[in-house]
Amino acid sequence: MAVATEPARRFTARLNSLMDRVVTVVTREGRQYTGKLVGFDPASLSVALEEVRDQQGSSWPVVIVMGNNLAEIRVAESEVFNAKEFAEFIARFGNIDRSQIKVFEDANVVEVSRNIRVSKNGVEGAGPLAQKVNTLYREYLRTKGVTVSR
């Protein structure tokens, strides 16, 4: 019976965090494909990219690189929103009780009071607490150097 180890779980969670982001995949032969990561198979490490360009400038709507041919996955830009960091931020500066905050690291999502979800896409929910969390979200992004328009 195979037991998923903590490092394997973290590895898969890290790959999940790259979903819908632009990555560069390098094959064992040295070919490079840059595109949006839209899927992967954790068992074989095969990856699916959309809106793909290679180093010669050719483009394709979809490229699938088989895991046995995969050498590297590179990420050009860093993720601005970090769920764990944001949870600490709202607990510290928003005076929100930690028992009301739940972090889903693999999805990079924070849940507040079971009905408010915060992700890199913003705040989902309604009511006074959601408005407070939205204000905190904007302040958090400002500390990261990102301005959010209303």
**How many structural domains are present in the chain?**
2
User: What's the mean per-residue pLDDT of the chain?
Assistant: 89
**More reliable by pLDDT, 77 or 58:** 58
pTM for the full model? 0.58
Whether 57 and 90 map to the same domain: the answer is no
* pLDDT for the residue 1: 43
- Domain with 54, as residue range(s), is 6-75
Whether 71 and 10 map to the same domain: the answer is yes
The span from the CA of 86 to the CA of 132, in Å, is: 14
Distance in angstroms between the alpha carbons of the first and the last residue of the chain: 52
- Do the domain assignments include residue 150? no
The span from the CA of 125 to the CA of 146, in Å, is: 22
List the CATH number of the domain containing 70.
2.30.30.100
- Do the domain assignments include residue 1? no
Residue 3 has pLDDT above 70, yes or no: no
Residue 15 has pLDDT above 70, yes or no: yes
* pLDDT for the residue 79: 74
Mean pLDDT to the nearest integer, 84-102: 94
Whether 11 and 47 map to the same domain: the answer is yes
Residue where a domain stops, chosen among 16, 51, 75 = 75
